[in-house]
Structure 1
């Protein structure tokens, strides 16, 4: 099997893409190899993960700056060697109180990418700017540019964008994370015409700003990604609401022009999309 990020996220692909947030962590520890396997089994198109470096410059797949919430160890990851981080056993699910300790360990980014190779696109959230070049170098050295999607925040009204990410985008698919300025989103989009992004992760305060920009998004060939996580602050378009009223949440977002949905309810979203022929 061969997974090509650019082909998957292209507007020529009519399917609404399913993004598993930190894997399917409702059944396995978040950001773990088990959560990766569950995401693939559940039919996700993309898995979103977080990475940062240890004291000895090894990239690991962890969201928090510390191990405390998600494992049976404590400590700040950037101050710990990789060998010590690897000794930590991950707690089930999102590590909330009461979750049992599992046999899963914190994976290295390299091991995670190797396990995902050819099976699912990996969206890498680089937690700290200090690790940006290290992540880029690892992806290129592993020959994984076609199977990943990098992301970082930008301001659409900025005069310039980070040169290193702009350069990386030419070799590795890159998705900017932006907030739609009320009444200015379509106008701001014209400022990044040469940026070349195929997909954009969007936060918004008024869905009409998104709808009014659809023609400009089509012209630029940009697919929109939305988070429906309960902590994503995309108004009331969240997973807990979608659990009871999926058409009011996911249906409204798809109709507004979103072509990728990051969720903690992968199986339910997949069933809903299948029922709707999407």
Structure 2
């Protein structure tokens, strides 16, 4: 519990303008420039069904800083954790989740990575935020369509400052659709640095919202990509990079670290570019790497 309070102070002090050192320097000697936060993709999906309570609890147990989840809405208006447009791949059901009531969804079972039925059930967003409260931060990936509804649940559970919402839409669209709650939440723009519009999107967000962090996606590590990464870093925003597969991080991915045994060309490289949050499919191994390098407690 103490550890996650420390991380929350560090992360959310960026929003208020206070420095991490001002908040906790007397209690623990960690500089925000040294600490790297680990974000676990679909929680611990290698060892439990993705977007399941067990996968999230596994992440809490191993000391992950943030979990990534996805949202869908049921026929009767409840937000549940679900990545795909249909229930087919991850549950024993078929069809679209919006065609089922929550009671009907709760009668289904989640499938594991082997595609077979498990004992696990589909959780609601409220159940997940209640579990995560005070323990681990939450990154809502596929969930922009439910921005206001998600905010209401965060308010209800007292977890507004523990959840990051994000979107790859430009600032003008996001503020038009969700302006009344945008500045009440932690919002992270997602920018594909290989698109021609990338720099304008970055500039508009910096000028109008000053996001705490940007999620940056890039298929190569060209000089132009490196220039834009530096631009975001120099703005004071934190950099969030996905090392899930090569096309998201210019070839500096998890498998390069683990299978090719080149962690310095993977996680080390993104850290050298200024990444403060790394989303991974290998959370336990990334934590080991960071701890060996004294970049994580």
Q: Find the residue that maps to 1:102 and give its secondary structure.
A: coil
Q: TM-score under structure 2 normalisation?
A: 0.82
Deviations 1:67-106 (A, max 9, x none): 110112212101111111111111123xxxx443211100
- Correspondence for 1:103 among 105, 115, 119: 119
Tell me, yes or no, if the aligned pair for 1:67 and 1:74 is still in contact at 8 Å.
Answer: yes
Structure 2 Cα separation of the partners of residues 124 and 25 of structure 1: 16
Matching residue of 2:29: none
Matching residue of 1:198: 212
Q: Which has the higher contact order (CA 8 A, sep 6+)?
A: 1
Q: Find the residue that maps to 1:105 and give its secondary structure.
A: coil
Stretches of structure 2 that go unaligned for 5 or more consecutive residues are 21-31
Quick check: which one's helix share is greater?
2
The CA deviation at 1:235 is 2.9
- Correspondence for 1:34 among 54, 78, 90: 54
Matching residue of 2:11: 8
Deviations 1:134-157 (A, max 9, x none): 1122212322111111111124xx
- Correspondence for 2:80 among 55, 60, 66: 60
Structure 1 Cα separation of the partners of residues 131 and 281 of structure 2: 21
Quick check: which one's strand share is greater?
1
Structure 1 Cα separation of the partners of residues 73 and 172 of structure 2: 30
Say if 2:116 is the partner of 1:123.
no
The CA deviation at 1:164 is 3.9
> Comparing 245-254 with 207-216, which one deviates more in the overlay?
207-216
> Comparing 162-171 with 260-269, which one deviates more in the overlay?
162-171
Deviations 1:186-242 (A, max 9, x none): 665333222121011111244333432455434432111111112753332222112
Stretches of structure 1 that go unaligned for 5 or more consecutive residues are none
Matching residue of 1:263: 280
Structure 2 Cα separation of the partners of residues 58 and 181 of structure 1: 36
C-alpha distance 159-170 of structure 1, shift in aligned 2 (>3 A): closer
Structure 1 Cα separation of the partners of residues 97 and 69 of structure 2: 16
Matching residue of 1:246: 263
> What are the equivalent positions in structure 2 for 1:83-94 lying under 5 Å apart?
83-93=103-113
Say if 2:202 is the partner of 1:189.
yes
Q: Find the residue that maps to 1:75 and give its secondary structure.
A: coil
Q: Find the residue that maps to 1:253 and give its secondary structure.
A: helix
Structure 1 Cα separation of the partners of residues 135 and 91 of structure 2: 27
